């Protein structure tokens, strides 16, 4: 079937965005945000070699940053270890005050940080600003939660004994972070680690180093001591190998693909680290025919197209009940073709480029595969003068489970709609996937909502909402979507060890 078939399209023409990111970066008042130096042991390293940063919307080089190697990582681990005692011995309220100061500097520099995020990641500037606020929120929230890392007293099972459980910081932590949320995935990990009393070493994605290094500048300004928060950019394997092998690194937190998560879990086994993994998703988005159509379409637009689809919470399989299917596809198509595709620094843009070409190519492959196997292309938004990293927002309807898009995470602006008949059937189909990060259910029936909240196999479920993340919630997945939780008091626990103490022989 050809792509030139009759589609609903809207033509958006935009001026060529060549040079726009460089122009914005040049105008930043904070020149240190684009200096690209790594922060190791309280010193800024320009690096003997530099790695290039690309604007994914145009393919242009926009900056370069220090390339760190294994020896740099070993220095960072030693510095983190040295900083541990001093940091853990601060009162939680003192650590909290530093975290709050960091959050406040991030908020103060929100506009400049958003320009960095959009320039290197590609997301629309409004979404980048939202990410900065979301990211700062984790530091604020954990600043307070660190003061509530309560232990327990246990009614004793032994005469004359007192039983206590205390929470201790686990030690040096490492974070390997992705490019889709280059600020918030760092603050979600660092907020929890620092609040618990652990230093953290961050290895950001090579695609988005500027945001991470700018966060380090602000951490230093906020008073985070040397060695407590360090950022090193470079080859993922070269930098992760010392982190995995070194027994001084006691915790590893990773967000990214399930494939890399498995490799890191295996690597961390040698030194039995505490590992938390936030991996891929394949969220079912289930629409029953008792719903308000507009609400369901709005929810599907948000759950599919936020971050241009590069979101682990993205709706990957949109199941729509037969009674509302045709109407839903029509209304969803009409909304999709209105999406404005372009450079994220242009204010009107809804959908930016894929940060990585490999992700754009995966989207195209899933579209071709689905169309070849009988899916209908019901809508494609349109735009011109774009780099190969762009994928036009696309609606595939009549998708079936044998298609790649129904099995593998898409991570782009391609929506797959599948019809279903009954509740029993859709629950089985929704759960028939090795991922279990998030899910969405739209229904007006309270009984059905309660039943599905029990039955859907995932770590996070939105009932009649596509918006549920934030600092107080336990973010994480079931099955191969990961291990452990981020955010919430459970997120703090990823950076603590429990110690049970038995005070015996207390009788005078």
Residues marked active site are found at 278, 312
Structure tokens, 486: 């981020």
Neighbouring CB atoms inside 10 A of 331's CB total: 18
Question: CB burial class (10 A; 0-12, 13-18, 19+) of residue 310?
Answer: buried
Residue from the set 177, 387, 394, 433 that interacts with ligand NAD by CB under 6 A: 177
Size of the site for ligand NAD (CB under 6 A): 23
Candidates 10-18, 41-49, 251-259, 296-304; binding stretch for ligand NAD (CB under 6 A): 251-259
Concatenated DSSP letters for 91-117?
Answer: -HHHHHHHHHHHHHHHHHTHHHHHHHH
Angle at the Cα of 217 from the Cα atoms of 116 and 278, rounded to 5 degrees: 65
Residue 477 is given by DSSP the state -
Structure tokens, 454: 């029990």
Q: Which is nearer to ligand NAD, 185 or 380 (CB)?
A: 185
- Pattern 194-233, binding to ligand NAD, x per CB under 6 A? -----------xx---------------------------
Q: Shortest Cβ distance from residue 371 to ligand NAD (Å)?
A: 20
- Pattern 267-306, binding to ligand NAD, x per CB under 6 A? -----------xxx--------------------------
Q: Does 308 bind ligand NAD (CB under 6 A)?
A: no
- Pattern 408-447, binding to ligand NAD, x per CB under 6 A? -x-x------------------------------------
Q: Does 240 bind ligand NAD (CB under 6 A)?
A: yes
Distance CA 21, CA 37 (A): 20
Residue from the set 7, 97, 126, 263 that interacts with ligand NAD by CB under 6 A: 263
Nearest to 119 by CA among 35, 56, 187: 56
Q: Does 262 bind ligand NAD (CB under 6 A)?
A: no
Structure tokens, 495: 């950076």
- Pattern 457-486, binding to ligand NAD, x per CB under 6 A? ------------------------------
Residue from the set 17, 47, 178, 227 that interacts with ligand NAD by CB under 6 A: 178
Buried b (16+ CB within 10 A) or exposed e, 9-21: eeebebeebeebb
Within 204-330, strands assigned E span: 229-231, 249-255, 274-278, 283-287, 315-321
Residues of this chain that bind ligand NAD (CB under 6 A) = 176-178, 180, 205-206, 236-237, 240, 255-257, 260, 263-264, 278-280, 312, 356, 359, 409, 411
């Amino acid at each position: 079937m050809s792509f030139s078939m009759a589609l609903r399209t809207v033509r958006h023409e935009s001026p060529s965005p060549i040079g726009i990111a460089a122009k914005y970066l040049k105008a930043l008042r904070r020149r240190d945000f684009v200096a690209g130096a790594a922060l190791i042991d309280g010193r800024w390293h320009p690096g003997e070699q530099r790695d290039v940063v690309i604007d994914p919307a145009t393919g242009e080089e926009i900056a370069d940053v220090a390339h760190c190697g294994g020896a740099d990582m070993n220095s960072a681990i030693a510095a983190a270890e040295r900083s541990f005692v001093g940091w853990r011995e601060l009162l939680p309220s003192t650590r909290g005050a530093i975290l709050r100061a960091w959050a406040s500097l991030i908020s103060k520099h929100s506009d400049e940080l958003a320009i960095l995020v959009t320039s290197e990641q590609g997301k629309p500037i409004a979404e980048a600003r939202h990410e900065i606020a979301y990211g700062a929120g984790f530091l604020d929230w954990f600043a307070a939660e660190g003061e509530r890392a309560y232990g327990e007293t246990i009614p004793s099972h032994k005469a004359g004994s007192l039983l206590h459980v205390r929470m201790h910081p686990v030690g040096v932590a490492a974070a390997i972070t992705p490019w889709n949320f280059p600020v918030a995935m760092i603050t979600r990990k660092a907020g929890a680690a620092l609040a618990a009393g652990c230093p953290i070493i961050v290895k950001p994605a090579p695609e988005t180093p500027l945001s991470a290094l700018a966060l380090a500048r602000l951490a230093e300004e906020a008073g985070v001591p040397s060695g407590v928060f360090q950022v090193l950019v470079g080859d993922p394997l070269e930098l992760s190998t010392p982190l995995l092998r070194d027994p001084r690194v006691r915790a590893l937190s990773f967000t990214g693909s399930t494939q890399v998560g498995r490799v890191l879990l295996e690597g961390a086994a040698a030194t039995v680290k505490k590992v938390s993994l936030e991996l891929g998703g394949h969220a079912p988005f289930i629409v029953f025919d008792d719903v308000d159509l507009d609400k369901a379409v709005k929810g599907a637009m948000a759950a599919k197209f936020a971050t241009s689809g590069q979101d682990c919470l993205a709706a990957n399989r949109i199941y729509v009940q037969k009674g509302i299917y045709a109407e839903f596809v029509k209304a969803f198509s009409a909304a999709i073709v209105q999406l404005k595709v372009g450079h994220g620094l242009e204010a009107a843009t809804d959908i930016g480029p894929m940060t990585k070409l490999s992700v754009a190519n995966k989207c195209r492959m899933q579209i071709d595969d689905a169309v070849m196997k009988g899916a209908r292309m019901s809508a494609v938004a349109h735009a011109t003068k774009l780099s190969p990293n762009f994928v036009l927002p696309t609606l595939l309807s009549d998708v079936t489970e044998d298609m790649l898009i129904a099995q593998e995470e898409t991570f782009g602006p391609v929506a797959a709609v599948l019809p279903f008949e009954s509740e029993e059937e859709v629950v089985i189909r929704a759960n028939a996937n090795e991922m279990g990060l998030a899910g969405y259910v739209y229904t007006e029936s309270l009984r059905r909502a309660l039943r599905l909240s029990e039955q859907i196999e995932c770590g996070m479920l939105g009932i009649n909402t596509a918006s549920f993340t934030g600092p107080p919630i336990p973010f994480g997945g079931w099955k191969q979507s990961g291990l452990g939780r981020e955010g919430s008091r459970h997120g703090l626990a990823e950076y603590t060890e429990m110690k049970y103490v038995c005070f015996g022989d207390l009788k005078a």
